[in-house]
A and B are shown apart, each in its own frame.
Chain A
Amino acid sequence: MTHDLVLQVLDKRGCCGFKGPRAVEWLRDQGLLLPTQPNSWAISGKNLEEVIVARLGASEFFIEGMVGTEILERVASNTVKPSGVYPVLREDCAFVISGTNVDEVLAQVCSFNFADLALAANPVIMTLVMDVAVLIVPQESSVGCRYRVWCDPTFARYILDGLEPIVIEYGGVHRETYYE
């Protein structure tokens, strides 16, 4: 049996956040491609330099990529920001859940209906999984939908421990990686 239903922690991901009335302008100046609609995402860069920017509401942005990605490091470490751009502390833990029955797995722990998503619009979903606030970026992949999930790192163990038995019940696996 092939285990295409997989729960896996994303190792070595970095993230940062910005908000404020001039955040759009400043982030564009840094060379990032920004989504235009609230609660949607866009990709800047290619391959290992790929960075995902999620727009949360009108003027808050969540930026995520591999640790060491040039643009991520530059934006995150840039301490000189104009007025109207405010850093948002993000230390989120990231994991991925993908494969057959993934919507059924999420339905056990979340009231959001993922089966109804229009993936073409690049939606970002902020919802509660087991009462914990999460940020979810769905992406189309060769095995169907693949959900990237970010949450507060102090809740990561709780969420993974809760998801693991459900993933296994649906014939999937939890590929443990270092995430603490």
Chain B
Amino acid sequence: MKLLVCPLNGPRPVTEFAYGGEVRVSPDPDACSDAEWGNYVFNRSGSPGQKYEWWCHAASGFWFIALRDTTTDLVIATYPAEFVQTGFSRVRPQ
């Protein structure tokens, strides 16, 4: 059984988690064009790679961020949700 290390609950089987998709930054809905908003709503970076993703430990309702390689399924690091405000802007791909 595949284990994922939750920053709060420690190593748990992946079946205890819900996947929340890649961490993405919304454009300003009041300032962006319809095309930019459509791009944000629908388009995804579908190619494999190391991605920052939202994960939720379903049993505790704890959301966190995992940096995961989507080819090997290896989790490289996990971060508390605050990382979106504190560190994500430094590391996210432009």
Main SS class of interface, A: strand
Bound-state Cα–Cα, A125 to B16, Å: 12
Bound-state Cα–Cα, A111 to B9, Å: 13
Tell me whether A128 and B16 are in contact (CB under 8 A): yes
Tell me whether A127 and B62 are in contact (CB under 8 A): no
B13 touches A (CB below 8 Å):
yes
Bound-state Cα–Cα, A57 to B82, Å: 14
> With contacts defined as CB atoms under 8 Å apart, how many contacts are there between chain A and chain B in the complex?
31
Tell me whether B1 and A127 are in contact (CB under 8 A): no
Chain A contacts for B61, CB-based, 8 A: 133
Can you list, as one digit per residue, whether each of B1-36 has a CB less than 8 Å from chain A (1) or not (0)?
100000011001101100000000000000000000
Contact-size category for A: 10 to 19
Min distance, Cβ B4 to any Cβ of chain A, angstroms: 11
Tell me whether B16 and A57 are in contact (CB under 8 A): no
Tell me whether A57 and B62 are in contact (CB under 8 A): yes
A99 touches B (CB below 8 Å):
no
Tell me whether A133 and B12 are in contact (CB under 8 A): no
Question: What count of chain B residues pass the 8 Å CB interface test?
Answer: 13
Chain B contacts for A133, CB-based, 8 A: 58-61
Min distance, Cβ A61 to any Cβ of chain B, angstroms: 13
Tell me whether B8 and A57 are in contact (CB under 8 A): yes
B51 touches A (CB below 8 Å):
no
Tell me whether B58 and A111 are in contact (CB under 8 A): no
Min distance, Cβ A151 to any Cβ of chain B, angstroms: 10
The A-contacting residues of B in range 52-94, CB under 8 angstroms, are 57-62
Tell me whether B60 and A57 are in contact (CB under 8 A): yes
Bound-state Cα–Cα, A3 to B58, Å: 34
Chain A contacts for B1, CB-based, 8 A: 111
- Minimum CB distance partner of B60 in chain A: A126
Chain A contacts for B16, CB-based, 8 A: 111, 127-128
- Minimum CB distance partner of B16 in chain A: A128
26 CB contacts below 8 A, A to B, read A38-B8, A39-B8, A39-B9, A56-B60, A57-B8, A57-B60, A57-B62, A111-B1, A111-B12, A111-B13, A111-B16, A112-B12, A126-B9, A126-B60, A127-B9, A127-B12, A127-B16, A127-B59, A128-B15, A128-B58, A128-B59, A133-B58, A133-B59, A133-B60, A133-B61, A134-B59
Enumerate chain A interface residues (CB-CB to B < 8 A): 38-39, 56-57, 111-112, 125-128, 133-134
| 8 closest cross-chain pairs (CB), A and B | A126-B60, A111-B13, A133-B59, A126-B59, A127-B59, A128-B59, A128-B16, A57-B8
